[in-house]
Structure formats: C-alpha cells, structure tokens
C-alpha cells in the first residue's frame, strides 16, 4: 500500500478543529457521566471550569512514538515471528490480565497451537485446561471458537479485513481493531483502558475516563489518528504502552512522560475526581473464586470428576452449586450421567 500524501494546511486545520471538537464533546460527556456516576456511587471524572483546548494530534504523535521506539517492552507478540495469530492470542489473554501473568501461558499456548487450525482440531476443554489460572476462562472458549471459524471460513489464516475480524466469534470492536492495527499495520482507533486514560488526561483534562467507553471517546480517538497507516499503527501501540508504563492509573510518572508539557490534566494542576475512590474488584469469597476452584480440579483431572470431589472445594453448598451451575451454563463444564463432570469435548 502506498503512503498517502501529507494533508494540506487546510486539511490539517480541519483535523485540528475535529480534534478540539471531539475533546470538547468528551469533556461534556464526562460531565454527564460524572453526574450519573456520582449519583450511582461510582467515581466520576473531575473537570475544571476552563480546560485548555485540545492539542492537535500531530503534536502528540512524534514525541509519543519516539518514546515508544526507545522504551517499548520486548514482548513476544510484538516480534515479527508472532504473526497475526500470535497477536490475536495475546489480545484475548491480555484482557483484564497483567502481562506478567500472560507471558508464560502465551508461550506455552503458541508452542502447542502455533496456528489456528492446530487449536481448532482440539476439544474446547483443552483450551480451557491450557488457559490455566489466567481468569475469565470464557475467553478460552471464545478463542477456540475464533480458531474454528478462521479454519473453516478463511483457510486457517487470520483475516486481514476489519469487518471479517469483527464477524469472528468472541471478537468485539476493540479486539478487531487491535488485530488489524498491530498484526496488519492498518489505521484503526484502538481504545483500551490505558489509551483511554492517556487521552483523558492529555487531551480532555480529567484524571480518569468514564467507566465505560463513550461515543465521544471514540470520536476523539479517531480525530487523533495519524493520517497514514504505518504511523497510525505505531501511534496505537505507543499510546497504549505510555498508559501501561508511565500514565498509569496510580502513581503516574509525569517526569518520564514525553508529552507532559502538553498534558491538559497536568497543566490544570492535576484535578482529582470528586466522587468515591475507585476500588478494585473483590475476589475472595465471590462466585468467581468458587468457579476458579472448581475449574482447577477439573483442569488437573484427565477423567470425569465425581460430584463428591467437587463438593470438597468449597464449604458453602448453595454458593458451590450456583458456581457449578454457572460453569455448566457457560459451556465451561460438561455434566455427565452418574453425577460426573468434565471439561467440554464439543
């Protein structure tokens, strides 16, 4: 694909206006979300009365991409040999899971299933078994379903087209954009939590983005995209890495930030949210914990497991039964006659 010509001054001015308009819309939406979240008890975004106008995206691209070129982590899914399938596997695993926990499972997964067809020919339960303790194991079933669809519909190759990616089982807008951008170098707005936080602070001037991605955030992300595909792809990866390493949710490192001098939130004096403090998700004592304990027993077993064995993993029978029923309903556990259970074969 040939690189498109650089935009004229008039086009650049128009893009800057779109960026400023999108940032204003994001601030307005954040105000509405902030009021609603405060009423609901969630932590809203804090906005000042006079935030600075959003900088044009072109002023952010070069410093962030240059920083990325120097400081990016050497992660296996960023290496050329990972290929589109490696990128897709990483995107499934990294959802709500830290890199440190993903790395060993990712490497074992790709060693066992280097192509989608390799995974597709295995039982879904083997994907759940290999998922280990990454959490949210339905992701394993969805990744297996995507591998089957890639094998059946696309000859075993991860599709390059964003629409075709979006049509795969278990693939949402974020994952489709991430694979298209990171695997194929296409121009897409890739909005994960880290990117949203960078944009919220640097452009919108608030400490945190809304709890759920808004239309205004998507509009802003599109407005900030560089015009040419290679730069847009680098920008997507670089802004994500900046949020992961520097512009973190807590204890941000503004002294290491390449765009600190342009950051709207920093220039406004780093106003804090005025709602309740954010709290991490609880795990101890929840159904998620019980589900994890039940799955751990089934992963280690290579024969159907009797109900009596599963009964020993949790002391509270009602919660244990509810968790097991949920695993069955989600397709993660297959019940058999005689009170036996196993990971799914189909």
Instruction: Inform me whether the pLDDT recorded for 31 exceeds 50.
Output: no
Instruction: Tell me the C-alpha distance between 126 and 322, whole Å.
Output: 24
CB 27 within 8 A of CB 204: yes
* 272 shares its domain with 138: yes
Q: What torsion, rounded to 10 degrees, do the Cα atoms 79, 80, 85, 88 define?
A: 50
Domain end marker among 263, 280, 297: 280
Query: What pLDDT is stored for residue 277 in this prediction?
Result: 65
Which of 255, 198, 227, 271 minimizes the C-alpha distance to 23?
198
Whole-Å CA distances, 286 to 73, 264, 299: 34, 39, 20
* 10 shares its domain with 27: yes
Query: What pLDDT is stored for residue 135 in this prediction?
Result: 94
* 200 shares its domain with 130: yes
Query: What pLDDT is stored for residue 191 in this prediction?
Result: 97
* 194 shares its domain with 137: yes
Residues 6+ apart with CB under 8 A from 278: 43, 208, 249
Q: What is the pLDDT of residues 143-167, one digit of tens each?
A: 999 999 999 999 999 999 999 999 9
Which DSSP string corresponds to 229-273?
Answer: HHHHHHHHHHHHHHHHHTS-SSS--GGG-TTGGG-HHHHTT-PPP
Instruction: Inform me whether the pLDDT recorded for 56 exceeds 80.
Output: no
Query: What pLDDT is stored for residue 100 in this prediction?
Result: 97
* 293 shares its domain with 159: no
Band (pLDDT 50/70/90 cuts) for residue 17 is very low
* 35 shares its domain with 152: yes
Instruction: Tell me the C-alpha distance between 5 and 8, whole Å.
Output: 9
Of all helices (H) and strands (E), which one includes residue 342? strand 340-342
Query: What pLDDT is stored for residue 27 in this prediction?
Result: 52
Band (pLDDT 50/70/90 cuts) for residue 282 is confident
Q: Which residues are catalytic?
A: 91
Instruction: Tell me the C-alpha distance between 115 and 130, whole Å.
Output: 15
Average confidence score pLDDT of the chain: 87
Instruction: Inform me whether the pLDDT recorded for 20 exceeds 90.
Output: no
Question: Hey, what are 315's tokens?
Answer: 């002391």
Instruction: Tell me the C-alpha distance between 65 and 239, whole Å.
Output: 8
* 221 shares its domain with 200: yes
Sheet holding 334-336, edge to edge: 305-306, 340-342, 334-336
Instruction: Inform me whether the pLDDT recorded for 97 exceeds 80.
Output: yes
Q: Of all residues in the chain, what percent are helix, strand and coil, respectively (each to 5)?
A: 60, 0, 40
Domain end marker among 235, 265, 280: 280
Mean pLDDT of 172-189: 98
Q: What is the CATH number of the domain that holds 174?
A: 1.10.340.30
* 186 shares its domain with 319: no
* 154 shares its domain with 42: yes
* 206 shares its domain with 338: no
Query: What pLDDT is stored for residue 241 in this prediction?
Result: 99
Instruction: Inform me whether the pLDDT recorded for 15 exceeds 60.
Output: no
Query: What pLDDT is stored for residue 88 in this prediction?
Result: 99
* 251 shares its domain with 330: no
Domain end marker among 280, 302, 334: 280
Domain count, the chain: 2
* 135 shares its domain with 263: yes
Q: What is the CATH number of the domain that holds 330?
A: 1.10.10
Which of 139, 126, 86 minimizes the C-alpha distance to 110?
86
Q: What residue numbers bound the domain in which 322 lies? A: 287-342
């Amino acid at each position: 694909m040939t690189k498109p010509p650089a935009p004229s001054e008039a086009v650049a001015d128009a893009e800057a206006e779109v960026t400023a308009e999108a940032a204003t819309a994001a601030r307005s939406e954040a105000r509405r979300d902030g009021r609603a979240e405060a009423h609901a008890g969630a932590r809203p975004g804090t906005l000042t009365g006079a935030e600075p106008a959003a900088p044009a995206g072109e002023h952010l691209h070069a410093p962030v991409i240059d920083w990325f070129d120097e400081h990016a982590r050497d992660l296996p899914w960023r290496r050329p040999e990972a290929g589109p399938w490696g990128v897709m596997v990483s995107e499934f695993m990294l959802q709500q899971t830290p890199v440190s926990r993903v790395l060993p499972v990712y490497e074992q997964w790709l060693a066992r299933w280097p192509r989608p067809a390799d995974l597709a020919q295995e039982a879904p339960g083997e994907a759940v078994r290999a998922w280990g303790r990454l959490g949210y194991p339905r992701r394993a079933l969805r990744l297996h379903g995507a591998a089957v669809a890639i094998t059946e519909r696309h000859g075993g190759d991860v599709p390059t087209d964003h629409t075709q990616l979006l049509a795969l089982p278990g693939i949402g807008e974020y994952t489709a954009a991430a694979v298209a951008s990171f695997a194929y170098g296409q121009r897409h707005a890739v909005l994960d939590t880290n990117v949203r936080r960078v944009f919220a602070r640097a452009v919108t001037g608030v400490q945190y983005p809304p709890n759920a991605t808004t239309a205004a955030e998507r509009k802003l992300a599109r407005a900030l995209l560089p015009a040419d595909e290679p730069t847009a792809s680098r920008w997507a990866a670089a802004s994500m890495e900046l949020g992961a390493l520097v512009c973190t949710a807590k204890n941000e490192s503004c002294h290491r930030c390449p765009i600190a001098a342009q950051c709207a939130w920093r220039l406004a004096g780093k106003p804090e949210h005025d709602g309740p403090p954010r709290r991490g998700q609880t795990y101890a004592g929840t159904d998620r914990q019980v589900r994890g304990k039940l799955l751990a027993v089934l992963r280690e077993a290579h024969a159907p497991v009797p109900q009596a064995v599963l009964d020993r993993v949790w002391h509270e029978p009602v919660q244990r039964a509810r968790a097991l029923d949920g695993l069955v309903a989600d397709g993660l556990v297959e019940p058999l006659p005689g009170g036996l259970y196993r990971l799914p074969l189909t």
